[in-house]
Chain A
Amino acid sequence: MAGILNLVLKRILLGAITLIGLTVITFILSHAGGPTFAVSTYINPRSPIPTYEQIKILEKRFHLNEPLYIQYFYYVQGLLTGQWGYTNTPVFNGPVTTAISYFLPNTIELSVLAIAIIIIAGIKLGVFSASRQDGVADNAIRVLSFMGIALPAFWLGLLLQETFASGTVSPSLNLLPLDGNVSHTLVTNLSWYREGISYPTHFLFIDALIHGDFAVAASNFLHLILPALTIALASLAIIIRMTRSSTIDSLHQDYIKTVRMKGIPERKVIRYHARRNAMIPTATVLGILFANLLAGVVLVEYVFDYPGIGQWIVQAFLADNIAGIMGANLMFGIILITSNLVVDIIYLFIDPRIKY
Chain B
Amino acid sequence: MATATVKRLRSSARLRSSRLTLVLLLKKPTGAAGLFIMLAYLFIALLLQFAPWVIGISQPGVMITNFSNPYPSPPSSAHLLGTTYPGIDVLTAIIKAIRVDVFSSLLVVGAGASIGSLLGIYAGFRGKFIDQIVMRVTDIFFSLPFLVLAMAIGFTLGRAFGDVLLALIVIWWPIYARLARSQTLAIKNELYVKFSLVSGNGSVKTIFKHILPNTLTPVLIQMSVDLANVVLLIAGLYFIGFAAETPYLPELGSLISYGFPFSLTAPWTIIYPGLALMIFALGMNMLGDGLRDALNPRYRI
Contact = CB atoms under 8 A, between A and B. Distances in A.
Interface string A283-315: 000000001101100110011000000000110
Contacts of A332: 144-145, 148
B146 A318 contact: no
Interface string A328-352: 1100110011001000000000000
Contact of B136 (A17, A298, A314): A17
Contacts of B277: 152, 155
A294 B145 contact: yes
A18 B241 contact: no
Interface stretch (A88-96, A142-150, A213-221, A223-231): A142-150
Given A29-B156, A322-B155, A162 B267 contact: yes
B140 interface: yes
A116 interface: no
B216 interface: no
Contacts of A146: 30, 282, 285-286, 289
Interface in B109-149: 136-137, 139-140, 142-149
A23 to B, nearest CB: 10
B148 A33 contact: no
Contacts of A313: 148, 151
Classify the secondary structure of B's interface with A. helix
A25 B232 CA distance: 25
A328 B256 CA distance: 25
B286 A29 contact: no
Contacts of B86: none
A175 B89 CA distance: 33
A293 B252 CA distance: 23
B240 interface: yes
B161 interface: no
Size bracket of the B interface: 35 or more
Contacts of B281: 149-152
Contact of B263 (A19, A29, A158, A302): A158
A326 B260 contact: no
A5 B140 CA distance: 24
Interface in B231-252: 232, 235-236, 239-242
Nearest to A294: B145
A302 B240 contact: yes
Question: Which interface residue of A149, A302, A328 has the most chain B CB atoms within 10 A?
Answer: A149
Contacts of A154: 236, 239, 256
A340 B143 contact: yes
Query: By DSSP majority rule, is chain A's interface helix, strand, loop, or mixed?
Result: helix
Contacts of A149: 228, 281, 285
Contact of A336 (B144, B263, B270): B144
Contacts of A294: 145, 148
Given A32-B156, A294-B148, A150 B240 contact: no
B240 A314 contact: yes
A340 B281 CA distance: 27
Contacts of B155: 29, 317, 320, 322, 325
Contacts of A159: 270-271, 274
Given A146-B285, A313-B148, A155 B270 contact: yes
- Residue of A159, A161, A295, A318 ringed by the most chain B CB atoms within 10 A: A295
Contacts of A166: 264
In the complex, the 10 A-B pairs of residues with the closest C-beta atoms, listed nearest first: A295-B145, A150-B281, A155-B274, A150-B282, A21-B140, A166-B264, A295-B147, A18-B139, A294-B145, A29-B156
Given A150-B285, A155-B270, A329-B149, 13 more contacts: A19-B143, A21-B136, A149-B228, A150-B232, A150-B284, A153-B236, A154-B239, A155-B256, A162-B267, A168-B264, A295-B147, A303-B260, A325-B151
